[in-house]
Structure 1
């Protein structure tokens, strides 16, 4: 019998843990190497004084991707997680308006809302959602699970029949696509804001991503009780159950390459320890992997390549423990500034700055989950999209971050207080921590301190996104938000499956059949 194949996975975020679980389930001997003390990566967790905060993702979208992943192990998302549907799915406050807009995630509720704000908009939204559902189904079946090792999937007659519909969605922006159909500014913002979850702005991502509205307006939004750390723990359990070993406090200093043709043979840890393997999978930030972990002569994506690419926004995160109730805030609340264009120009433009006022997002998980805050208190996670620029500074606890960051945090708190009708919000804060682009760079090796990696512009999506294997080093594969297929927890799960598909030699464009991964 041949010896068991070995794999080293760099990083214990969701993509690293999922990759380890899938490879171990497929018979590989897998070790995961995590630089930090705890697992989760961007989907991390922080606790203080009885509060527990997720420090990253907070929207559970694309549930069928999670369902498919768990099905690969003979289980279900419902069995592994305590999923709560959110109603309303989210709430919106618009600058200068007193009354919030609650978005209930069903087709009938969404069309009724749109019609109530603009005559005829309900009918137009119905057509918009039909298109969004079709685009989403096409993406899942034809784009997201394709490794693009060949162009066969793109030449499939079933896909080519969709070209007359696809072409306009790829050549116009989401902003143009929305504004051609709706006049009401809040409705336009509702349909355009999902671009932020893709690491972009409505005028920079292609209209194909209107598919996101199928998710939040039609499918609905769920929340895993215990927070997104519960999801990370569930995937870690699968990895360990299938035999993978997870090592924390094990930062990788170098990916070892030898031979001709050049082949990854293992890694050297910062401690000096050398580990050998048949395959190395890096789920660390792709810029860090390519420009810091690989010897210069073996880099497929050198620094000059990155200078021509667009990062996602940076993020100012506020983790706030608040005394008392906050009924003005839903589980998910979006706060939109009126000058939408200026807001995004501040983030992505040549003369970038922290927007003021900002369009921002507030998550109050304590609205759904009693475990994340002490009795009589609320847990707030605030995301302010800002430029991807580590020079903006570090965050800190209790106002101890860099002055520019803490001043921006103060403005965000004041903005939420004024626009959402919570005048005493600042006085009720008992726990405060800020996280800023310099922290993303220092803690996660994030390129330019960005919060998510490569933005989903047309030139950085689907077949134009970095592939999941090095072009110069054999047996070196990639997963995570900057590689195929892209940003977000579901995409990271898919990126793990793409590693398995490549190692199996599977070049089909859709997801693997779940039974193929479940042995008797």
Structure 2
């Protein structure tokens, strides 16, 4: 067996697919546009500070375990994990915060203090969420989105109503306390849509949060990239960096290679883990399965304004993951989805990895990563970035009591224009396509091209959807379809 497979991009879905395909004995080559592997999950090292540039949350550890188990490995063969306690902290105002700790029992105690009687409601809510998690993660998300019948089973028929309800109404019906309601809506943001537009079934994210907890790989999320890259090398995958693909070669509706840096790479299969819209732009128009009108109508997950900041002192009153919900949640969501524009009062997220991992900053210093969710496609200028950096620094100072302005050594920013430049991201989105009812499973862009034979796709714009665990699964699904085709051709 010597079929050649070319993979475009080296994000989590591409790395995953590369491993599965190499395991089957195929000759796999990965072409990466940038100088470093990992796609959005790159790493920034500057003046003794280390930052994850993309994902910073390690959720759903069972998905990572299942991935490595497919190769008779475990995550611990490649990186070490620590469960965070607290998992994260949420600020609702000056010196007013709630810690979400590392067990459901502790979280229930915190809820009870906030609203008497809410701990019992929470237990019932998480029990339902766990049941949905077991159905979704152990079964549904490992379907390739080929047919609506994939969603039909005895278990899912019983859950049918949950695909037409929504997370927001479910939570607000059970939890009258606005702060607790906001906490429970938070995990849904990882799916890329408003809670009011996210089907009730997706409450399994609450189990991922409260039931499975938040973890940290020693040295950061980039260690996971390095671990999967090492596995891929062990399996014989070849990687070529600084190799943007300029054209996908198609003749008679059949793909047989790509052009990168003016060099032709011939292959039996091309699999793209790059942005789906961008990948189709590498094809002649007649071979594109989805029109510009199609993409315009889709609900995309947010983009982000990110800052990677070095402080010359340790911070107090913050945890490794700290959320600032001291402004109106719904107003910010409106500025992302309903009336796209820069939010007047943004919610934002802060990560201080050096609280957990001293290697992330020089001794006595702190590394800070800040993220403001934004509507994709809006105007991005240096002036706006600076304005919003000042807004969040002032808010951190106000809420936590830290004096920060005079302790900033440097800051690097990353926003919409950078997502487009570095990742060819459609409208500069950060997380792909949102998981709304009409963008779930078989209703998402297909893993296999509908117009070009031997061309496949993987990643967060196709199934199962946004996030690191879904990307690992997407790579497995794409690889499975490719193996099926190649074996059928024998």
What band does the TM-score fall into relative to the shorter chain?
Answer: over 0.9
Separation in 1 of the partners of 2:131 and 2:155?
13
Report what 1:433 is aligned to: 412
Instruction: Tell me whether 1:67 sits opposite 2:60 in the alignment.
Output: no
Separation in 2 of the partners of 1:136 and 1:464?
20
Match of 2:13 among 15, 37, 54: 15
Match of 2:335 among 323, 343, 346: 346
Separation in 2 of the partners of 1:125 and 1:464?
32
Question: 1:141: Cα distance to partner?
Answer: 2.7
1:354·1:387 contact (CA, 8 Å) conserved in 2? yes
Separation in 2 of the partners of 1:88 and 1:289?
41
Match of 2:303 among 307, 314, 337: 314
Report what 2:268 is aligned to: 278
Report what 1:420 is aligned to: 400
Separation in 2 of the partners of 1:340 and 1:99?
17
Q: Secondary structure at the match of 2:470?
A: helix
Report what 1:337 is aligned to: 326
Instruction: Tell me whether 1:121 sits opposite 2:112 in the alignment.
Output: no
Q: Secondary structure at the match of 1:53?
A: strand
Question: 1:438: Cα distance to partner?
Answer: 1.1
Q: Alpha-carbon deviations, 1:247-277, whole Å to 9, x = none?
A: 0011100111112xx11101011x2101111
Match of 1:206 among 180, 186, 199: 199
Separation in 1 of the partners of 2:326 and 2:198?
20
* TM-aligned CA distance change 1:439 to 1:134, over 3 Å: same
Q: Alpha-carbon deviations, 1:175-213, whole Å to 9, x = none?
A: 111100001111111110112211122222222221111
Separation in 2 of the partners of 1:357 and 1:124?
31
Question: 1:295: Cα distance to partner?
Answer: 1.1
Structure 1, 176-185 or 15-24: larger mean CA deviation: 15-24
Q: Alpha-carbon deviations, 1:344-369, whole Å to 9, x = none?
A: 1012122x222232111111110111
2:42·2:54 contact (CA, 8 Å) conserved in 1? yes
Question: 1:64: Cα distance to partner?
Answer: 0.8
Instruction: Tell me whether 1:287 sits opposite 2:266 in the alignment.
Output: no
Report what 1:510 is aligned to: none
Superposition pairs of residues 389-468 of structure 1, within 5 angstroms: 389-393=377-381, 402-422=382-402, 424-468=403-447
Q: Secondary structure at the match of 2:298?
A: coil
Q: Secondary structure at the match of 2:205?
A: helix
**Root-mean-square deviation over aligned CA pairs:** 1.4
* TM-aligned CA distance change 1:450 to 1:148, over 3 Å: closer
Report what 1:264 is aligned to: 255
Separation in 2 of the partners of 1:489 and 1:415?
29
Match of 1:355 among 335, 343, 350: 343
* TM-aligned CA distance change 1:455 to 1:148, over 3 Å: closer
Equivalences, count = 485
Report what 2:488 is aligned to: none
Q: Secondary structure at the match of 1:391?
A: coil
* TM-aligned CA distance change 1:472 to 1:333, over 3 Å: same
Unaligned runs of 5+ in 1: 394-401, 507-520
1:321·1:379 contact (CA, 8 Å) conserved in 2? yes
Tell me the TM-score normalized by structure 2: 0.96
2:306·2:370 contact (CA, 8 Å) conserved in 1? yes
* TM-aligned CA distance change 1:120 to 1:168, over 3 Å: farther
Question: 1:286: Cα distance to partner?
Answer: 0.8
Unaligned runs of 5+ in 2: 486-490
Question: 1:390: Cα distance to partner?
Answer: 4.8
1:313·1:450 contact (CA, 8 Å) conserved in 2? yes
- The structure 1 segments of at least 4 consecutive aligned residues displaced by more than 6 Å after TM superposition are none
Report what 1:132 is aligned to: 129
Separation in 2 of the partners of 1:325 and 1:491?
35
Question: 1:161: Cα distance to partner?
Answer: 4.1
1:106·1:217 contact (CA, 8 Å) conserved in 2? yes
Match of 2:293 among 277, 297, 304: 304
Separation in 2 of the partners of 1:449 and 1:438?
6
Q: Secondary structure at the match of 1:502?
A: helix
Separation in 1 of the partners of 2:247 and 2:80?
39
Q: Alpha-carbon deviations, 1:71-119, whole Å to 9, x = none?
A: 1121101221110110001111013x52311111312112222121112
Question: 1:17: Cα distance to partner?
Answer: 1.5
